[in-house]
Chains A and B, each alone.
Chain A
Amino acid sequence: MFQYISKRLFQTLLVLFGISLITFILLQVVPGDPVELMLEKRADAQTIARVRHELGLDVSLPQQYLNFLKGAIHLDFGKSYFTKEVVITALVRCFMVTVKLASMSFLFAVVLGVACGMAAAINRGKWIDSVLMTISIVGVSAPSFWIAIILQIIFGLKLDLLPISGFEGPVFFILPSIALGTRYAGSIARITRTSMLDVIKQDYIRTARAKGVKEGLVIMKHALKNAMIPIITLVGTELGNMLTGSMLIERVFSIPGIGKLAVDSMSNRDLPLLEGTVMYIAFVFVIVNLLVDISYAFIDPRIRYGKGAN
């Protein structure tokens, strides 16, 4: 176990290093000189040189990369070119908003997805199954930002029930969470159905039924428990995607989360903020995946020795 975890940790470090390198290289090819962009071409050569020095842009590229790496390790990405806010402060502030949104939609997706998937599996071949599976494939295939707009039209404009933008109270969470969660609910429902059907075929389920165990107990205790691993695998990978997927939803509902920060810094070419955001999101994504992987090793010992060792 310890060996597996340390191996995964080492891999994660390597991946993070690679991400920092890619981010840095990408930043070098951004069209336009950031200093000139920042000073809006009003400054003379001397000022430009001074600012360049202040930002540490006057040293060689490998040196710049080392400085960037050193800063990133200390969570110091500098200040935003435009708002002058310290990047890490902005990141943490916005990230808390996104975490709230993502965890609400996560809850929504898991509860709805598992419930629908189970209902479909139990009623396999009946109309409930086909209706639920059709809805789930539509849910998976509709862009989340479009669902968000449809929800705005129905619940905000036509029924006038819920606010359509902003992020001031719990009521404001409802539509964004549904919009973000629908897609994941769809894929969770599909995998739950497949996995349940696989398990229901097994001999131990037949044994449990033959013993006279009540059907509800068979499903909840014997089937669902054993069907859980593929579901958890999917849920784990989707958790990371949800954090980045919230970018689109934040845009629709103008929620000041990390996604909006990323989009804004990209359109403003605010390099320190952009660097920070990309590294931060990638970091969280990688760490979430690492934690999910480690938790499998606890749930399913086979992973430790089989897939994990490879």
Chain B
Amino acid sequence: MKILSIFTKQKKFEEQLLNGEMEYSSYYKDSFKRLKKNKAALFCLGVILFLVLLALFAPVVSPYDPTYQDYASVLAPPSSKHLLGADEYGRDILSRLIYGTRVSLSIGILAQILASVIGITLGAIAGYFGGAVDTLISRIMEIFAAFPDLLFAMAIMTFMGQGLQNLFIALGLLTWVRTARLIRGSVMQLKEKEYVEASKASGGTSFRIITKHLIPNCLSTVIVLVTLGIPNAIMYEASLSFLGLGIQPPTPSWGNMISSAQSFISFLPVYSIVPGIAIMVTVVAFNIFGDGLRDALDPKLRA
């Protein structure tokens, strides 16, 4: 009786499939469905998109050029002319804030791309080949992880000199270890799977197996890591710029704005307050969206 009911169920299922009443749903489709249910994450995705648009269209949106100095309104309080006031050189704070979005987002994203490239390559090599290669790479990772983060970034910035490009490198070098560790772990598990064996049996080279089979299967992990890594990088950029080791004025960055605003906290508190709020909103948005993405893509990663 029971067996029969299974057969009828199976038949019904096949019929539904044939009639197009039901469709197969892929892994990413499923994840997207799960993500759509998470309202907070969707809202934060909206915030992120807004920030990206703001960064892209900064010249159109901002009322002034961020480096234009209007000496008549030095340290002017918020008014209809300067919505958030003007800084010590009479530059419009709102415009500098909008241009700061460019710096923060691009550094966050590019640093994470660099970190992912290094992390995936070394992690996959260590996990796939094992043995002496793994030991060597793991020791290198240990050393990098043991260096205090901020100090390491500061040291690199001091030694390589300031500038946007060096900031990417410093922040990329800072965060690749986490990616490498997770990829190494996943690759070590995945390489025991049947499809890897099948690929080997049909003459697939190690390079092919790693790039065609192993890395694509780690993709969801990487997506989550990048999303959660961006706010980290933004925070480090702000910290370094605040210490005067990151983005140099007159290029506006939220960190160096807070740094210069520090001398004027009693005249113009709004000058210190708004860049911090911008950092906070961006970081919160990426964190909540990243958490949602993690829950949707890879619930195992939850920790």
- Chain A positions within 8 Å of B, measured between CB atoms, are 11, 14-15, 18-19, 22-23, 26-27, 29-31, 137-138, 140-143, 145-147, 149-150, 152-153, 157, 240-241, 243-245, 247-248, 251-252, 262-263, 266-267, 269, 274, 278, 281-282, 285-286, 289
Contacts and interface: CB of A to CB of B under 8 A. Distances in A.
Contact of B148 (A140, A241, A252, A274): A241
A27 B159 contact: yes
Contacts of A240: 148
Contact of B242 (A11, A14, A145): A145
B265 A138 contact: no
A30 B243 contact: no
Contact of A141 (B159, B243, B261, B283): B283
11 contacts: A19-B146, A137-B287, A143-B276, A143-B280, A149-B261, A153-B265, A157-B266, A241-B149, A245-B150, A247-B150, A247-B154
A145 B143 contact: no
Contact of B262 (A18, A27, A149, A286): A149
Nearest to A141: B283
Interface stretch (B19-27, B87-95, B231-239, B293-301): B231-239
Given A18-B146, A241-B148, A248-B150, 8 more contacts: A14-B142, A19-B143, A23-B155, A146-B258, A149-B262, A153-B272, A157-B265, A282-B148
Contacts of B97: none
A290 to B, nearest CB: 10
A27 to B, nearest CB: 7
The 9 lowest CB-CB distance pairs between A and B, nearest first, are: A146-B276, A18-B143, A141-B283, A244-B148, A266-B158, A15-B146, A141-B284, A26-B159, A285-B148
A201 B18 CA distance: 44
Contacts of B276: 142-143, 146-147, 149-150
B265 A149 contact: yes
Interface in B244-273: 244-245, 255, 258, 261-262, 265-266, 269, 272-273
Nearest to A31: B161
Contacts of A274: 158
B155 A138 contact: no
Contacts of A286: 146
A266 B146 contact: no
Contact of B280 (A22, A142, A241, A281): A142
Contacts of B142: 11, 14-15, 18
Contact of B258 (A31, A145, A244, A245): A145
Contacts of A138: 280, 284
B120 to A, nearest CB: 22
A287 to B, nearest CB: 10
Contacts of B143: 14-15, 18-19, 22
B147 interface: yes
Contact of B243 (A137, A140, A149, A251): A251
B156 interface: yes
Contacts of B83: none
A146 B156 CA distance: 24
A274 to B, nearest CB: 8
Contacts of A140: 287
A281 B148 contact: yes
A243 B261 CA distance: 25
B151 interface: yes
Interface in B146-181: 146-151, 154-156, 158-161
Contacts of A157: 265-266, 269
A150 B271 CA distance: 11
- Best-buried of A15, A145, A263 by chain B (most CB within 10 Å): A145
Contacts of A243: 148
A163 to B, nearest CB: 14
Contacts of B146: 15, 18-19, 282, 285-286, 289
Contact of B288 (A19, A137, A153): A137
A146 B151 contact: no
B84 interface: no
